[in-house]
């Protein structure tokens, strides 16, 4: 990660002298996004400047309300847990008022935690507001690490990207601790370089109108707005954006033009120059390159960018391997449930389709006549055959998977990690023909991994060119030589992929099937109970669809004297 250069004299930080304002950093876990929203966990840490001040505050709240399954999967709290371990909300907020007093309150998602959760809840409970609205830590992060390849800056994504400690993701206290780590390791050094040495400066900086330096849409997506100084076409596009009838788009365009007119953005470029130099020093000093920050777009020596690209490829390979492992866990659960419940799913889907087409037959008969309605029979037969084919294909794919022992799994991981680093399609981002070959090769490698096909992986690793030629694909050079502009673009692209993959991993781990896998790990009998529950639900749905199908059949028979299909 980006760190200030070490100094033997260790001078006192400016912010240590000036940023002494006490404040509260908080987070909540809730019942979800549907109103009314109830807080189920409240955690906070009193801060002084950038440092923790005393012990944290954490309480569970029992509102006696239902916790939606999707919310419970994220934070793990159920109604039963809250009834056992939670406290009455009024009691929790009374304690929190004693902890927080009237200090300014900061949250990573202030508009949610403060504006949509706490303030409405206090109003609903007749409780006076606790503390005063501070600033949004997310907006501070977005602006300080701009230009960041991923515009959303999700907290857990940045935690994993910067390799910050795991502090209990998706619990209120865990997220508070992660924000503190993010501030200490990443945001504080960047804020100090900008001279943000008082509470007021940081609050104003986080609250100022601001848009990402990297354009996020349109024909110039991915470009820096500052490049318009030397690009007339990009400047014309920004001027067009400023005239948009969409208020947000026009405001964005006007903001970019104002920055350019006032000469702003040059300071950001200088900041990035400094960051890239620190990154170079870190690489030279033995700091793991994979811990590099979100720094792109400058022009250091080619050798540095080669090292950055290699570090990013190592990191991406690690994440892709991790994703493959986690996805395999989810797929294993899906496969077991599919095998156990296939007949029920097929019958349900057959009846859904039947009801849909009987309804369509009746609608078309009444609106367009018998000739038009009769066409639905052929359409139904075609879609029914396609649905059957989908089930056969899924079953075939599941049958092709191998169960590997521990030694085989280790060998597969070793081979796949080596291959994906060597032959990632990003290597030839700007050469469509070569990129196509690399995409095909990467697909073959990934499919072999998913099937557990160690023999194919070993064959590709032994002689990749022979494998490519055997498939009839366009030949590619494997030396990977490229110039500075290509390296810079490749590094940028790899950073985007890394962040995207981190988010994809989080989505897999937040899925219902992954939760089932974790439960089965603890108790193998869980899978049978879940299958039984799903079977009962499917049987209920099948019964309802059968009844609906018979009603539609009777309606069609009354109109035509027969059932069309």
Tens digit of each residue's pLDDT (9 = 90 or more) over 411-423: 777 776 677 666 5
Q: Calculate mean pLDDT across residues 118-130.
A: 96
Q: Closest Cα to residue 500, out of 335, 316, 357, 318?
A: 316
Which range in 31-45, 258-272, 365-379, 395-409 is most confidently predicted, on average pLDDT? 31-45
Of the pLDDT bands very low, low, confident and very high (cuts 50, 70, 90), residue 433 is confident
Q: Calculate mean pLDDT across residues 22-39.
A: 95
The per-residue pLDDT for range 310-335, each reduced to its tens digit, is 778 778 878 877 887 788 888 888 88
Peptide bond preceding 376: is omega within 30 degrees of 0, i.e. cis?
no
Least confident of 31-40, 167-176, 271-280, 548-557: 271-280
Angle at 454 between CA 449 and CA 459, to 5 degrees: 105
Least confident of 149-153, 549-553, 561-565: 149-153
Task: Give pLDDT, residue 330.
Answer: 85
Task: Give pLDDT, residue 147.
Answer: 73
Q: Calculate mean pLDDT across residues 130-147.
A: 92
Does 150 have pLDDT greater than 80?
Answer: no
pTM, two decimals, is 0.70
Does 254 have pLDDT greater than 80?
Answer: yes
Least confident of 402-416, 505-519, 526-540: 402-416
Task: Give pLDDT, residue 287.
Answer: 40
> What secondary structure, in 3-state letters, does 264-327 show?
CCHHHHHHHHHHHHHHHHHHHCCCCHHHCCCCCCCCCCHHHHHHHHHHHHHHHHHHHHHHHHHH
Does 357 have pLDDT greater than 80?
Answer: yes
SS3 118: helix
Question: Is residue 237 within 8 Å of residue 218, measured between CB atoms?
Answer: yes
Question: Is residue 114 within 8 Å of residue 107, measured between CB atoms?
Answer: yes
SS3 356: helix
Which range in 87-101, 269-283, 314-328 is most confidently predicted, on average pLDDT? 87-101
Does 157 have pLDDT greater than 70?
Answer: yes
Instruction: Give domain 14-207's CATH number out of 2.40.30.10, 1.10.3720.10, 2.60.120.620, 3.30.420.10.
Output: 3.30.420.10
The per-residue pLDDT for range 449-497, each reduced to its tens digit, is 777 778 888 888 777 777 887 887 776 655 555 666 677 777 777 777 7
Task: Give pLDDT, residue 10.
Answer: 38
Does 289 have pLDDT greater than 60?
Answer: no
Of the pLDDT bands very low, low, confident and very high (cuts 50, 70, 90), residue 162 is confident
Q: How many CB atoms lie within 10 A of CB 301?
A: 10
Residue of 421 and 565 predicted with greater confidence = 565
Does 214 have pLDDT greater than 60?
Answer: yes
Does 438 have pLDDT greater than 80?
Answer: no
Does 430 have pLDDT greater than 70?
Answer: no
Q: Calculate mean pLDDT across residues 363-368.
A: 91
Q: Calculate mean pLDDT across residues 168-174.
A: 86
With a pLDDT cut of 90, the percent of the chain lying above it is 42
Question: Is residue 412 within 8 Å of residue 447, measured between CB atoms?
Answer: no
Of the pLDDT bands very low, low, confident and very high (cuts 50, 70, 90), residue 400 is low
Of the pLDDT bands very low, low, confident and very high (cuts 50, 70, 90), residue 110 is very high
* Domain limits, the chain: 14-207, 225-264, 299-565
Question: Is residue 515 within 8 Å of residue 526, measured between CB atoms?
Answer: no
In eight-state DSSP terms, residue 151 is T
d(Cα 481, Cα 381) in Å, to the nearest integer? 55
Residue of 214 and 23 predicted with greater confidence = 23
Task: Tell me the two tokens of residue 193.
Answer: 């370089």
Task: Give pLDDT, residue 323.
Answer: 83
Task: Give pLDDT, residue 393.
Answer: 84
Task: Tell me the two tokens of residue 409.
Answer: 């799994």
Least confident of 157-171, 352-366, 519-533: 157-171
Q: How far is CA 391 from CA 118, 265, 398, in A?
A: 48, 55, 11
Q: Closest Cα to residue 424, out of 323, 496, 317?
A: 317
Question: Is residue 481 within 8 Å of residue 442, measured between CB atoms?
Answer: no
Of the pLDDT bands very low, low, confident and very high (cuts 50, 70, 90), residue 131 is very high
Question: Looking at the chain, how many residues does it have?
Answer: 565
d(Cα 42, Cα 414) in Å, to the nearest integer? 43
Task: Report the run of H or E that residue 25 belongs to, with start and end.
Answer: strand 22-30
With a pLDDT cut of 70, the percent of the chain lying above it is 83
Of the pLDDT bands very low, low, confident and very high (cuts 50, 70, 90), residue 116 is very high
Task: Give pLDDT, residue 446.
Answer: 76
The pLDDT mean for the chain works out to 82
């Amino acid at each position: 990660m980006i760190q200030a250069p070490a100094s033997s004299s260790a001078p006192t930080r400016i912010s240590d002298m000036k940023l002494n304002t006490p404040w509260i950093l908080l987070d909540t876990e809730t019942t979800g996004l549907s109103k009314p929203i109830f807080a189920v966990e409240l955690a906070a840490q009193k801060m002084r400047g950038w440092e923790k001040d005393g012990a944290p505050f954490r309480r569970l709240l029992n509102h006696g309300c239902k916790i939606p399954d999707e919310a419970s999967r994220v934070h793990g709290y159920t109604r039963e847990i809250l009834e056992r371990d939670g406290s009455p909300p009024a009691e929790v907020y009374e304690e929190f008022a004693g902890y927080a007093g009237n200090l300014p309150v900061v949250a990573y998602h202030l508009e949610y935690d403060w504006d949509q959760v706490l303030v409405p809840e206090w109003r609903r409970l007749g409780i006076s507001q606790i503390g005063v609205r501070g600033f949004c830590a997310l907006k501070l992060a977005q602006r300080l690490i701009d230009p960041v390849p991923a515009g959303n800056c999700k907290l857990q994504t940045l935690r994993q990207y910067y390799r910050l400690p795991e502090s209990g993701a998706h619990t209120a206290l865990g997220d508070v601790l992660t924000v503190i780590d993010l501030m200490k390791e990443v945001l504080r050094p960047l804020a100090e370089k900008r001279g943000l040495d008082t509470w007021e400066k940081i609050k104003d900086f986080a609250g100022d109108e601001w848009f990402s330096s990297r354009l996020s849409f349109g024909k110039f997506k991915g470009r820096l707005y500052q490049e318009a100084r030397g690009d007339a076409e990009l400047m014309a596009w920004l001027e067009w954006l400023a005239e948009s009838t969409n208020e947000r788009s026009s405001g964005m365009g006007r903001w970019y033009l104002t920055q350019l007119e006032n000469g702003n953005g040059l300071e950001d470029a200088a900041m990035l120059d400094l960051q890239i130099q620190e990154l170079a020093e870190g690489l030279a000093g033995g700091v793991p390159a994979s811990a590099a920050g979100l720094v792109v777009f400058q022009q250091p020596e080619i050798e540095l960018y080669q090292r950055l690209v290699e570090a990013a490829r190592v990191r991406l390979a690690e994440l892709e391997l991790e994703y493959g492992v986690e996805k395999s866990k989810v797929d294993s659960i899906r496969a077991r449930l599919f095998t156990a419940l296939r007949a029920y799913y097929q019958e349900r889907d057959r009846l859904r389709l039947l009801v849909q087409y009987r309804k369509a037959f009746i609608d078309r008969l009444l609106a367009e006549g018998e000739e038009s309605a009769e066409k639905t029979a052929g359409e139904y037969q075609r879609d029914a055959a396609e649905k059957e084919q989908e089930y056969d294909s899924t079953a075939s794919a599941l049958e092709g998977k191998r169960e590997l022992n521990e030694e085989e799994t280790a060998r597969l991981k070793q081979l796949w990690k080596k291959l994906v680093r060597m032959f990632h399609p990003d290597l030839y981002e700007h050469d469509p023909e070569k990129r196509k070959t690399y995409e095909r090769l990467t697909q073959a490698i990934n499919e072999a991994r998913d099937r557990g096909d160690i023999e194919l992986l070993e064959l590709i690793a032994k002689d990749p060119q022979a494998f490519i030629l055997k498939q009839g694909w366009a030949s590619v050079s494997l030396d990977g030589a490229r110039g500075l502009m290509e390296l810079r673009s490749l590094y940028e692209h790899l950073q985007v992929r890394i962040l995207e993959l981190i988010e994809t991993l989080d989505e897999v781990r937040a899925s219902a099937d992954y939760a089932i896998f974790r439960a089965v790990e603890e108790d193998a009998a869980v899978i049978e109970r879940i299958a039984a529950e799903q079977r009962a639900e499917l049987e209920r749905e099948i019964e309802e669809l059968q009844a609906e199908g018979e009603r539609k059949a009777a309606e069609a028979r009354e109109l035509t004297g027969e059932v069309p299909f």
